[in-house]
Chain A
Amino acid sequence: DQQVKQNSPSLSVQEGRISILNCDYTNSMFDYFLWYKKYPAEGPTFLISISSIKDKNEDGRFTVFLNKSAKHLSLHIVPSQPGDSAVYFCAASAPRNDYKLSFGAGTTVTVRA
């Protein structure tokens, strides 16, 4: 039973516009959330994270928003660039589970020139 869900398998956005990726979770014990980015033939790389005590975290063009009551988080990329074309994985962890990561299925982002 997948506890972290990314319901949009793909997203196409024009260069310069905003990309919004969504992630839902079912386990209320999750208290730390991460986004990883993955290019073809490479391993995932850490992008940004957020603790459950916050509702927003920014790092340059990337902002993650957390809505605990809705068990929902989103990643905003502004402005989108061609190098942002990749698969983005949402992940969550809980102290009870030794902070092992549970991943969503991923969203493939394509940035059009």
Chain B
Amino acid sequence: DAGITQSPRHKVTETGTPVTLRCHQTENHRYMYWYRQDPGHGLRLIHYSYGVKDTDKGEVSDGYSVSRSKTEDFLLTLESATSSQTSVYFCAISESLGRADTQYFGPGTRLTVL
């Protein structure tokens, strides 16, 4: 199994509060991704990173920001959480952006915004 951990694994928070989710990898992979999984939508890309301090938006980036100050850590921040951000969040890593470079996923963080 790829060495990917996510913290926290579960979080309940209130609307309007900031939330930061952490993804940590031990594989030294260049690319890291944040997805959210919602019923009826599968996994949707929020943001991704192609190196330290290099990030870009995915298809559902509104309301989220990311940072990557070290190769091994990729942080996802909800500046002011809303109920629509209740979801399961997955981090993924890949060695490169090639066709056959599989993405490996972390165990997920279940976030509930009340």
Q: Give the CA-CA distance A99 to B96 in the complex, in Å.
A: 10
Task: Tell whether A101 is near chain B: CB-to-CB under 8 Å.
Answer: yes
Q: Quick check: A43 and B98 within 8 Å, CB to CB?
A: no
Given known A-B contacts A2-B41, A43-B90, A101 and B105 have beta carbons under 8 A apart: no
Known: A41-B108, A46-B102. 8 other contacts (CB 8 A): A43-B107, A99-B98, A100-B58, A100-B97, A101-B103, A103-B42, A105-B40, A106-B42
CB nearest neighbor in A for B45: A100
Q: Quick check: B108 and A93 within 8 Å, CB to CB?
A: no
Determine the chain B residues whose CB is within 8 A of the CB of A46 once the complex forms: 102-104
Task: Tell whether A62 is near chain B: CB-to-CB under 8 Å.
Answer: no
> Interface size bucket, B side?
20 to 34
Task: Tell whether B114 is near chain A: CB-to-CB under 8 Å.
Answer: no
Q: Give the CA-CA distance A75 to B103 in the complex, in Å.
A: 19
Q: Give the CA-CA distance A103 to B108 in the complex, in Å.
A: 16
Cβ 8 A contact of B97, one of A36, A89, A98: A98
Q: Quick check: A95 and B107 within 8 Å, CB to CB?
A: no
- Which residues of B line the A interface, CB within 8 A? 4, 39-45, 48, 58, 90, 92, 97-108
A96: shortest Cβ distance to chain B, in Å?
A: 12
Q: How many A-B residue pairs have CB under 8 A?
A: 58
Q: Tell me which residues from 25 to 48 in chain A have a Cβ below 8 Å from any Cβ of chain B.
A: 31-32, 34, 36, 41-46
> Interface size bucket, A side?
20 to 34
Closest 6 CB pairs of A and B: A43-B105, A103-B42, A103-B43, A105-B42, A32-B99, A46-B102
Q: Give the CA-CA distance A19 to B105 in the complex, in Å.
A: 25
B40: shortest Cβ distance to chain A, in Å?
A: 5
CB nearest neighbor in B for A49: B100
Q: Give the CA-CA distance A41 to B107 in the complex, in Å.
A: 7
CB nearest neighbor in A for B94: A99
Q: Quick check: A43 and B106 within 8 Å, CB to CB?
A: yes
Q: What sequence of 0s and 1s flags, for each residue 79-113 of chain A, a beta carbon within 8 Å of any chain B beta carbon? A: 00000000001010101001111011110000000
